[in-house]
């Protein structure tokens, strides 16, 4: 088999089996997920906002609120996050900085999902997040 075919097959196998993508593609996908989540909250669409949450985050929210996710996420009264200011992707994790909120995301087989929201930075400490997984 010619060397170029072998390289092409390896590249294809990587893309199919491991979901590799360029940093730009991951940034675009993570940005879209963050903006979609923020828009869901802006329009008081708890069902759509919950669909954007990672499974552990959704479960933690429901357990702590003792309510359905769709109700609990709106009861959290997260701030209107505003516009996306910056996105940083590190492998399968991302941080989306919006005007008034910071979101953390993880990549799942179904796409990028929110693992924490309502996050504010603290000097020399991890972010304090209002909604997060366990």
CB-based burial label for 118 (10 Å; 0-12, 13-18, 19+)? buried
pLDDT at res. 117? 97
Question: Distance between CA atoms of 61 and 44, rounded to whole angstroms?
Answer: 17
Question: Distance between CA atoms of 122 and 24, rounded to whole angstroms?
Answer: 29
Identify whether the C-beta of residue 82 lies closer than 8 Å to the C-beta of residue 93. Answer: no
- Core vs surface per residue 45-77: b (16+ CB within 10 A) or e: ebebbbbbbbeebbebbbeeeeeebbebbbebe
pLDDT at res. 19? 53
pLDDT at res. 20? 58
The CATH T-level fold of domain 22-132 is: Nuclear Transport Factor 2; Chain: A, (3.10.450)
One digit per residue, the tens of pLDDT, for the chain of length 134 reads 444 343 333 333 344 333 556 878 999 999 999 999 999 999 999 999 999 999 999 999 999 999 999 999 999 999 899 999 999 999 999 999 999 999 999 999 999 999 999 999 999 999 999 999 87
């Amino acid at each position: 088999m010619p060397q170029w075919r072998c390289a092409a097959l390896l590249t294809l196998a990587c893309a199919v089996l491991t979901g590799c993508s360029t940093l730009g593609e991951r940034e675009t996908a993570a940005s879209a997920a963050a903006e979609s989540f923020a828009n869901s909250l802006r329009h008081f669409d708890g069902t759509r906002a919950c669909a954007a949450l990672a499974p552990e985050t959704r479960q933690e929210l429901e357990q702590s609120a003792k309510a359905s996710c769709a109700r609990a996420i709106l009861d959290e009264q997260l701030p209107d996050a505003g516009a996306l200011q910056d996105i940083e992707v590190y492998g399968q994790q991302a941080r989306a900085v919006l005007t008034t909120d910071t979101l953390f995301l993880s990549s799942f087989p179904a796409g990028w999902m929110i693992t924490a929201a309502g996050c504010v930075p603290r000097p020399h400490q991890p972010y304090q997040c209002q909604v997060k997984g366990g």
